[in-house]
Chains A and B, each alone.
Chain A
Amino acid sequence: MSAQTDPADLPGVTKEQGPPGGAASRVPGPRAGRGGTDGAAGRNGGGEGRVLNVFSHGVLVIWGLLVTMPLLWAVVSSFKDDTEIFGSPWSLPSVLHFDNWARAWDKANMGQYFLNSLIVVGGSLIGTMLLGSMAAYVLARFDFPGNRFLYFLFVGGMGFPVILALVPLFFVMKNMALLDSYHGLILVYIAYSLPFTVFFLSGFFRTLPTSVAEAALIDGASHTRTFFQVMLPMAKPGLISVGIFNFLGQWNQYLLPTVLNVGDPDKKMLTQGLVALAVSQGYKGDWSGLFAGLTIAMLPVLAAYIIFQRQVVAGLTAGALK
């Protein structure tokens, strides 16, 4: 349809008002017939389309405002002092109080929490990707007894309420002396990211051609070497998608650290730290510091999203579109 010329440009179609049949009878041939169709649809849809267009822009702009206003409001409030936040929530700050940010970063420990999240998510993301792709590869490409059982064991974890497992998990972690430690959290993050990772990557490995791996094996490469040097590079698009999915999921993880990482206040994750900050600043009345903390937590993720927009959207929607 895109290569089609406008009906008015076609020789012989003199009046657009004519019925499509008429236009087609004057200029025989499929091209003209299609052109007439276009004109007819235009008459039906023209007025309705214009009203719809105004309406749709209207509602889309309203939702756009609803999405951005709270975020902008937080950023603006992070530059105000407390009287301004309470007295006039909607006004712009009279003076830019950058000290709120410094206070949130140092005194309220946001800098430390940020670092904690980086350490834990860094470790767990590498672990998840490595272990997840290994398990997914074996389950997707090798036949062995129990393969289906293991696959459903992994995938089944996606649909169960995590909170149910958390009660015993707390005591499992306690007995293994893993509570309130980076490595303990890393292991748990990996474990709870495996179901989706295995589900997604095994689907992905199944779509890759078998011939390349076979050629590598015939050339004398071991299975392990074939996996790391041939299959993983081929699976790069899938790895990026699921990597982004896991990064965001683990960076934004709140439930697991809330239950398993409560002993040492200096080891809080960013999400936990933010909530703790909200509670403590609520007592102190330091709302501006809290807004600065919120903004500090919010902006890096939003910035990363805007830069890697295409990949992030692909990564997060990949699981649902399959």
Chain B
Amino acid sequence: MKHGKYRFIAGFLVLPLAIYAIFVISPFLQAIYYSFTDWTGLSPDLQVVGFDNYARLFKDEVFWAAVGNSVTLLLLLPVVTLSLGLFFAFMLNVGGRRRKKAVIGGVRGSGAYKILYFFPQVLSVPIVALLFQFAYNPESGALNAFFQAIGLDSVQPDWLGDPQLALWCVMAAMVWANVGFYVVLFSAGMSSIPKDFYEAALLDGANRFNTFFRITLPLLWDTVQTGWIYMGILALDVSAFAFVQIMSVGPGGPDYSTEVLPLYVYQKTFRDGQAGYATAIGVSLLIVTLIFSGIVMRLGRRERLEF
């Protein structure tokens, strides 16, 4: 029996583990090793160069531009997206007309709003990024055409072509793509908060604004924290890469104003043939990610409220 059990365990684990080890674990470990070499990626020759790649990072202005932009996204994207998500979810759940039986209630048609808001979540990043790229097109895009239509002929920004605006344009698309998910997520959380809590607070003279900060937010904190980490990773990694690579001029431009760390890793490897240096950039991205997760976890460590 015991023998059979271990054979079963091994049999079930061997294939998933092998695939995972070959395609995920080993590349990660190799990446850390390569970051200490001068590997080009074009030929198998390489030499271990110690911390040279990391020393080079300090003098690389593009790298620091990428760090700046990635950190900007990391700080702002989760806050903006989650705030909008919380705001709309609160409006959906508490903004309704008072009904006979309950002190607070959802707005009419909240189900329809949620279905609609979730649309961007099921679309791929290229679809969203291309849509926004057209909308931002300075000559024929929907935005500038709209400004013209309402008589603001002089306001015709260059959007993605303007170094001052480009990163914000990309970020707006990312916010647009993600808010709906959090509206639905927070809405589910809010509807499980007992109505008595609101009733008691309103009876004690609190207004709805207060109930949000005193009741809703504390009780949702766990979900908010999870969302924060999701959004942070999204702002640093795959999603940021895809949005910037598709939308921006260059990509990464104009003037490195939208250069982000994952894109720079990609460019250094596949455009410039500096795979060793690229992995050093990747490792610094890993470090930023770990610091971020650590901070959010620590911030979130508070008493868990049961209800």
For residue B249, CB closer than 8 A to chain A, the reply is no
> What separation, in Å, do the CA atoms of A135 and B123 have in the docked complex?
30
- Across the interface, do A53 and B97 meet the contact criterion of CB distance under 8 Å? yes
Q: A163-B282, A164-B286, A274-B126 are in contact. Are A48 and B181 (CB under 8 A)?
A: no
Residue-wise interface mask of A (266-292) relative to B, using a CB-CB cutoff of 8 A (1 in contact, 0 not): 000011101100100000000000110
- Across the interface, do A132 and B125 meet the contact criterion of CB distance under 8 Å? no
- Across the interface, do A67 and B176 meet the contact criterion of CB distance under 8 Å? yes
Closest chain-B Cβ to A38's Cβ sits at a distance in Å of 7
- Across the interface, do B25 and A153 meet the contact criterion of CB distance under 8 Å? yes
With beta carbons under 8 angstroms apart, the residue of A163, A172, A223, A270 that contacts B265 is A163
List of A residues within 8 angstroms of B103 by Cβ: 38, 41-42, 45
- Across the interface, do A89 and B95 meet the contact criterion of CB distance under 8 Å? no
Residue ID in chain B nearest A275 by CB atoms: B126
With beta carbons under 8 angstroms apart, the residue of B5, B130, B278 that contacts A142 is B5
Closest chain-B Cβ to A283's Cβ sits at a distance in Å of 15
Q: A41-B202, A172-B22, A274-B130 are in contact. Are A135 and B88 (CB under 8 A)?
A: no
Closest chain-B Cβ to A130's Cβ sits at a distance in Å of 9
For chain B, give the interface size range: 35 or more
> What separation, in Å, do the CA atoms of A309 and B31 have in the docked complex?
40
Q: A153-B25, A305-B122 are in contact. Are A49 and B185 (CB under 8 A)?
A: no
For chain A, give the interface size range: 35 or more
Which segment, of B13-21, B50-58, B155-163, B299-307, faces chain A?
B13-21
- Across the interface, do B19 and A194 meet the contact criterion of CB distance under 8 Å? yes
List of B residues within 8 angstroms of A37 by Cβ: 199, 203
Interfacial residues of chain A within 48-70, with CB under 8 A of chain B in the complex: 48-50, 52-53, 55-57, 59-60, 63-64, 66-70
With beta carbons under 8 angstroms apart, the residue of A150, A254, A301, A313 that contacts B126 is A254
With beta carbons under 8 angstroms apart, the residue of B107, B119, B121 that contacts A316 is B121
For residue B216, CB closer than 8 A to chain A, the reply is no
For residue B73, CB closer than 8 A to chain A, the reply is no
Closest chain-A Cβ to B239's Cβ sits at a distance in Å of 9
B-binding residues in A (CB < 8 A)? 1-2, 4, 6, 37-38, 40-42, 44-46, 48-50, 52-53, 55-57, 59-60, 63-64, 66-71, 73-74, 77, 85-90, 131-132, 134-135, 137-139, 142, 144, 150, 153-154, 157, 159-172, 187-188, 190-192, 194-195, 198, 222-224, 227, 248, 251-255, 258-259, 270-272, 274-275, 278, 290-291, 294, 297-298, 301-302, 304-306, 309, 312-313, 316-317, 320-321
